[in-house]
Chains A and B, each alone.
Chain A
Amino acid sequence: MADKEQTKVSQEIKLVKLNIDGQEVEVPAGTTVLKAAEKLDKSIPHFCYHDGLPIVGQCRMCYVEIEGMPKLATSCSTTAGEGMKVHTDSPLVQKGQNATLEFVLLDHPLDCPICDRGGECKLQDYTYEHGPSRSRMIDKKEELLKHQHVSKEVVLDQERCILCTRCVRFSSHVDGRTELVVSDRGSHSVINVFDNRPMESKFSGNVVDLCPVGALTAQDFRFKARPWELRKHEGICSGCAVGCNIEIHTKHRHTGIPRPDGSLPKPHVDRLMPRENTKVNDWWMCDKGRWGYHFHNEDSKRITQPMIRTSRDANQKVTSFKEMQILLDSAINSAKGPWEVLATDSASHEQIEWLQKLQKSWSERGRKVQSGINVSDFGTKLLKSVSNKKQSPWFSGEVSFEGVTKVVSLFDSYRDLEDIVPLVALKLGQKIRNGQMTWEKRSLESFSNPKDDISNTAYLFPIPTTDSELAAFDKMAANSKTLILWTQLNSRGLVESGIAPLESSLNGFKSSKAKGPLFIGAQKLKQDYSKEFLDYVKSAPFVVVMDAIESELSALADIVLPVEAFYDSRAHATNLLNMKQLSKGVSIQHPSIESIRTGSESPVSASLSLI
């Protein structure tokens, strides 16, 4: 059967050879001329075409001349044919591009100096490269709606719009809510929200990225920075377990040069933008992640020095590593039970590794310390089943929804997933609306059904929190495509490192009280901690918390140790699709980051390993 499929595939992928600007190129049949030219590193200017959206050939910018065709053709919508002779830069093409731009600019407002897109605007780039340098227009420009909020976060400027309809197609095809539409006809066409109802999409930020001009801008970024002031760093969104690939844009002035008061400028995140990765987030990211970075900029809440409190009623106060060490020493000597080491689900692989090292060194030195991290009865069982290498390869490998035609879950619709794993919901939603996939809601008891064709059914399993759920999971995961919907940045990564995720082990903490002191490696991202967990922490006789940002957890600590924040550091995290991803982070360092880096040379490591 495999052989048959192989031959089928090779029959389908037929190659055609065409000539672009005198260069031969071979592409699979069905490829557009635009993509074929891209293969030769020729970029044809275009506004409306986008890899992730349906092709409409609307903007008329991607003109090419094809020998034998009477008129210029739009390369984005013309399929490459055998023996085609294409010219991308002939005088006729140049004339066509020039004329297209002249038409686009007829009614374009003179907004560049105040437009957020200025500097990263396709219209500017193309006009400078291909367009006219001076205007022939003498009439008055059309006046349309300006700076209208189409949602709380997205602002529309109809005058700047060039009607490429990328946003409309995103809304109808990718998001599926069809909130943005082209209204009115002919030269009166404008983009607007349908029936003046504000956008409710949870992915509305993507239309801002898609907009090739400044017609759609994000309230969050308006008038904040010019693109050339921004530094771009590759990162991973820390908002949920999907781990969207992002670019972190930061604005620094005079990096490294102290201010008059002696303080160093801090890296300030100004916006997040998605990075293309078709295995994870395609070209998109959700609004929650996109605009949920502000916690990172609150300098007053940054933990950059160790803090201690001498008694449970006292306030935490900043101290030196030496004094902190003295307090920790006495806590270790007077400890009744063994130390318990915990790691939260958003701790990066680097942080976990460091905790494991610490725990090992403590036990080697004869300190009373529990073996293992996040140890609880339920946690051990959970870890045993989710990290079982005998589970189906789909579960233990890199998860992909390729070939899946049916999804089974506890939820009514894929829309309900948008708050938990937004980009998975977006991906599945497109397939479901296209008819490539069906969605079925089942209760956990009847989750598995013998009628299912397990080769193309995927089961979205909630995080098991009870023994019965765990048993159900065990039964299914062995031979079907079962995916646990983890909710936090590195839950799956903890499993890979042989540690039970903290949030799912909570079951084990619920009734018990902490016996010994706690050492918690945390990474406060956006989630709040559950009440049960905080109660458990409160019950401990002594608490050490390592974190980058103050939280309700660090408020409970007797000792707070600083670590690098996720966006600042180079860190790995494994997403729920079981892909270990690197977040390069903001390479410009936080002023006191040298002192808080968890490397072997850092004061944190030095002071703890000496104990």
Chain B
Amino acid sequence: MGLESKLGESIITTRLDDLINWGRANSLWPMPMGISCCAIEMMATVGPKYDMSRFGSEVLRFSPRQADLMLVAGTLTYKMAPVVRRVYDQMMEPKWVMAMGTCLCTGGMFDSYPVVQGLDKIIPVDVYIPGCPPRPEAVLQALMTIQNKVRRDRGTRPASRTEEGPYVSIPKVTTPIKKQENKTIVLNMGPQHPSTHGVLRLILEVDGETVVQCVPEIGYLHRGFEKIAENKRYHQFIPYTDRLDYLAPLSNNVSYTMAVEKLLDIELPRRAQYIRIIACELARISSHLLSLGTYALDIGAGTVFFHTFDEREKIYDLIEKLTGHRFTTSYTRVGGIARDASPEFISETRAFLKQLPQTLDEMEALLTNNRIWMDRTRNVGVITPELALQYGVTGPNLRATGIKWDLRKDMPYMCYNEFDFDVPVGTNGDAYDRYIIRTQEMKESIRIIDQALDGLPSGPINADVPEVVIPTKNQVYTQMEALIWHFKIISEGFKVPPGQIFSAIENPKGEFGFFIKSDGGPKPVRTRIHSPTLRSVQVIPELVRGKLIADVVTTVASLDPVLGEIDR
């Protein structure tokens, strides 16, 4: 046509809008605003299996002024809302917003006082991704939706969207710190920072590069779990436990149901105990893999992240085979588990366990004797045994100090005493030791799962307590009695005898326990969650005083906090 025929084959013509939109759509620069559980799936989207770089958007960087796509993931609390709003305001026009997860769509399962009932209450949203959390495929779908939206753009967008909202009143951000010296400056690290592993806020007073004091500020992910627990029947609360330590939902499930089972005095069948142990240890490997991947990433060794996330995806596949969900599993039931382990799960787990040590070796080859790694981590964030005991630090962080304390050995629960495994301990209690401990623990977990698969007993997966255990679907569909019992257990809930219990298990991050008080009704009168990493976070000020800012990053990453469980 006309001009084009004269230009020859090497030149094409188009409209300027299309050209700009084409460029924008294929180079969307996401600004990750990872608040809670969904952020982990967001990371999985960037990981090797789902590989967001296929869409030109792999460079997730925490710098609002360069980004044009805000990828918000997690539960938005009123305390966090002003931070999200401020970061959004700092982004340049044009900008797009993706709300990942039901919490950001509607408030989701957290219909509680601290939670903003949807991201659109504070900023305009372009695409909502339902799911709790959404699978990475859904995130990619949403990304493509945004790309389509960008391609269709014809300059009709309002010149500035910064004027829109917020539609709820949100508090002002305060900086609760008293400066100790004059020439220092106050530096905020978090709540939105790549190396605070969630929404931990560290308020640092720094003299040049040196930290004078550090005040950790928490509560940005306070979702009111303990109050919610009082208003839910025992079974209803199991899905909430997934979202506490969202790096090891299976362990949380086990911990909670174990506490309820102790109140009810229920003995689990051995098959259920074995499967729970397999689940817990898979969760431990998965949690440690994430911990080490992000630990290395924070220090600048990005490769490890891709190695560990590749393995994590394999574990997610196994967990999905076992529980039906890859992330938020809600796998346990009071008196047993939701479904049995299939033969495929068993064979695939065996195959995975054979291959995993190889990857761990590769990872260790990258780090353990790496000069830079050793310089960055050795003698950094040293927790002495006394300090650890003072602050109640547990888990790998405690064992790195040389104290051999592991609930699986020292207060055995389920059938852990039947397994042959070691408890690795460190010597210095520094960041390097914590890294070593986690690598060793994964290897021990492999041993435990191997033994559990070999000795997996046959038999029922639920205790013979019909007033508590939910009848199977098949029974409900064919038997009047089972239907009625199912109806009553679900609609009214089983009654738990009056009493109180504290029961903890060795989670990947330390002692994770529930205190439950019952007055004989179908709901607990009080549930308290004992969170291991809250203790680790409390030690941070002691560890970073007089150190460099870069050491703060190392320290926090090596302590492996998870805010879902700290803020509760």
Binding site for B on A (CB under 8 A): 102, 105, 108-110, 112-113, 118-119, 123-125, 127-128, 131-135, 137, 226, 228
Task: For B487, list chain A residues within 8 Å (CB).
Answer: 112-113, 118-119, 124
Task: For A137, list chain B residues within 8 Å (CB).
Answer: 479-480
A127 engages B482 (CB within 8 Å): no
A128 engages B477 (CB within 8 Å): no
**Cα-based distance from A153 to B408 in the complex (angstroms):** 63
- Could you list 20 further interchain pairs (A-B, Cβ under 8 angstroms) beyond the known A105-B480, A110-B480, A118-B487? A102-B481, A105-B484, A119-B487, A119-B492, A124-B487, A125-B488, A127-B481, A127-B485, A127-B488, A131-B481, A132-B481, A133-B481, A133-B485, A134-B466, A134-B475, A134-B479, A135-B478, A135-B479, A135-B481, A228-B491
Known: A118-B487, A124-B488. A108 touches B466 (CB 8 A): no
Q: Say how far B493's CB is from chain A's closest CB, in angstroms.
A: 11
**CB-CB contacts of B485-528 with A at 8 A, as 1s and 0s?**
10110011000000000000000000000000000000000000
Known: A119-B491, A133-B467. A127 touches B475 (CB 8 A): no
| B466 closest partner in A (C-beta) | A133
B484 engages A112 (CB within 8 Å): yes
Task: For A226, list chain B residues within 8 Å (CB).
Answer: 491
Residue contacts A-B, CB under 8 angstroms, 19 given? A102-B481, A109-B480, A110-B483, A112-B483, A112-B484, A112-B487, A113-B483, A119-B491, A124-B484, A124-B488, A127-B488, A128-B467, A128-B484, A134-B479, A135-B478, A135-B481, A135-B482, A226-B491, A228-B491
**Cα-based distance from A109 to B467 in the complex (angstroms):** 21
Q: Say how far B73's CB is from chain A's closest CB, in angstroms.
A: 24
| A110 closest partner in B (C-beta) | B483
**Cα-based distance from A367 to B482 in the complex (angstroms):** 74
Task: For A119, list chain B residues within 8 Å (CB).
Answer: 487, 491-492
Q: Say how far B281's CB is from chain A's closest CB, in angstroms.
A: 33
**Cα-based distance from A137 to B466 in the complex (angstroms):** 18
**CB-CB contacts of B466-477 with A at 8 A, as 1s and 0s?**
110001000101
Most buried by A among B477, B478, B484, B488: B484
**Cα-based distance from A110 to B492 in the complex (angstroms):** 19
**Cα-based distance from A102 to B27 in the complex (angstroms):** 68
Task: For B492, list chain A residues within 8 Å (CB).
Answer: 119, 228
A108 engages B467 (CB within 8 Å): no
**CB-CB contacts of B105-138 with A at 8 A, as 1s and 0s?**
0000000000000000000000000000000000
| A254 closest partner in B (C-beta) | B111
Known: A110-B477, A128-B488. A133 touches B483 (CB 8 A): no
Most buried by A among B475, B479, B481, B492: B481
**Cα-based distance from A132 to B475 in the complex (angstroms):** 13
Task: For B482, list chain A residues within 8 Å (CB).
Answer: 133-135
Task: For B479, list chain A residues within 8 Å (CB).
Answer: 134-135, 137
Task: For B471, list chain A residues within 8 Å (CB).
Answer: 133-134
Task: For B480, list chain A residues within 8 Å (CB).
Answer: 105, 108-110, 135, 137
**Closest 7 A-B residue pairs measured CB to CB?**
A133-B466, A135-B479, A128-B488, A105-B480, A127-B484, A135-B481, A112-B487
Q: Say how far B106's CB is from chain A's closest CB, in angstroms.
A: 11
Task: For B483, list chain A residues within 8 Å (CB).
Answer: 110, 112-113
| B117 closest partner in A (C-beta) | A257
**Cα-based distance from A113 to B476 in the complex (angstroms):** 11
Task: For A125, list chain B residues within 8 Å (CB).
Answer: 488
Task: For B477, list chain A residues within 8 Å (CB).
Answer: 110
**Cα-based distance from A108 to B483 in the complex (angstroms):** 11
| A226 closest partner in B (C-beta) | B491
A-contacting residues, B55-100, CB 8 Å: none
Task: For A118, list chain B residues within 8 Å (CB).
Answer: 487, 491
Q: Say how far A566's CB is from chain B's closest CB, in angstroms.
A: 33
**Cα-based distance from A123 to B467 in the complex (angstroms):** 16
**Cα-based distance from A118 to B477 in the complex (angstroms):** 16
Q: Say how far B122's CB is from chain A's closest CB, in angstroms.
A: 16
Q: Say how far B110's CB is from chain A's closest CB, in angstroms.
A: 14
Q: Say how far B104's CB is from chain A's closest CB, in angstroms.
A: 17
Task: For B491, list chain A residues within 8 Å (CB).
Answer: 118-119, 226, 228
**Cα-based distance from A125 to B492 in the complex (angstroms):** 10
Task: For A123, list chain B residues within 8 Å (CB).
Answer: 484
| A131 closest partner in B (C-beta) | B481
Task: For A110, list chain B residues within 8 Å (CB).
Answer: 477-478, 480, 483
